[in-house]
Amino acid sequence: MKNLQDRLVKRTDIDFMRRSLPGITVYMCIWPLLSWPLNYHEAHPVFTHTFAAILVIVGILRLLAAYSTQFIYAKYPKLWRINILGLSLIHGASLAALLVTALSFSKYTDMVLPIALIQATIISGAVSSLSPKPRFTQLYLSFLTVPIIIASAFHPEYSYLSYLFAVLWIYYIFLANRFSQEYQRAFHIEVTLSDNQKKLETLTITDALTGLYNRQYFDRTLDSQWDLASRSQSSLSILFLDIDFFKKVNDKYGHLVGDKALCHAANILKEITQRKSDMIARYGGEEFAIILPSTEHKDALILAENIRKRLENIPLISDDISINMTVSIGVNTIIPNNKSSNMEFVDNVDKALYAAKHTGRNKVMSFFNVAKDEDQ
């Protein structure tokens, strides 16, 4: 649950930042675009230039904070959040101060209605764009509207703005809560679908009993590792493993114990084969396969021998039953080239496994030795 909440917080942070970018541009441009064509900057230069400078400077700071997200957020999320949200509130308060100033001084009252129109437009856009953060949206709307409600209430000519903005304030706070609920609902649906998709993908590539990869995924991985080894001209090794006399375990103890035996072998393989690049698969029945990228033949033989010894020395304990198990292993290594194929590569390691099983079992056999015997 905590992980889900952390994911929601991160999503709301990033969505809030992205959604606020268009609003930042509006904040920076709207006052100059309104006042300059009306020559207001000539009639009241201090008033016009002061608020234009405030809105533009805060906008630049917000843009810098937004585009520094990739450098700051991962290490200092709280600092990033305070910066982004704080600057947003300053922008809102600045715009509210613009209208309060126009209401407070008679020489600016001719700009009250145009500024009020801007204010109402900004409020309406903020409700949907800032909905990922409901509490902040409520605070932001309050910063934009409450000062205007109070200031216009004491102005005889524009007292109606007090009622108008009060209604807008209540309505948009209600609307913001609804948008936020819809946002969170959509997030949870998305997470559920994503998690289910991952589970489905996992089921299609793993063996349900042992948790190892399945034959289909083994074939895909071998193809990709073959291509990588071919391009880099590095050694690619492979192990085929077969539990000795596994049928006798099933016949004597039943399939339930046989399943436990397969899981026991799979766990030992996972314990010993620890490189992230190595891939272990249940190849079929009691047969397993391991792909070892960038692994020399001697290292593959050492790993195979460690597996053989470990499985031989650690019996399966099931209830009051102790079952000693052994494994036969075939090993093959190649540096892929134009004259070789991964099908031949697999066929050769299968020959090595066959030789290990038919020359006494419980042993590791290299295909190179098998090939020498065939030549002789």
AA letter at 151: A
Cβ-proximal residues to 299 (8 Å cutoff; 6+ apart), any chain: 237, 292
C-alpha 283/C-alpha 217 separation (Å) is 10
Taking CA atoms, 189 is separated from 4, 184, 227, in Å, by 12, 9, 39
In the block, which residue shows the tokens 């500024």? 115
List, in sequence order, the alpha helices (H) in the chain.
2-35, 40-43, 45-67, 69-72, 77-104, 112-129, 134-153, 160-205, 215-232, 246-253, 255-272, 297-313, 342-357, 367-375
- Are 371 and 363 in contact by the 8 Å Cβ rule? The answer is no
Catalytic residues: 286
Cβ-proximal residues to 206 (8 Å cutoff; 6+ apart), any chain: 212, 213, 214, 217
Considering all CA atoms of the chain, what is the largest pairwise distance in Å, rounded to the nearest integer?
112
* Burial (CB count within 10 angstroms: exposed 0-12, middle 13-18, buried 19+), residue 187: middle
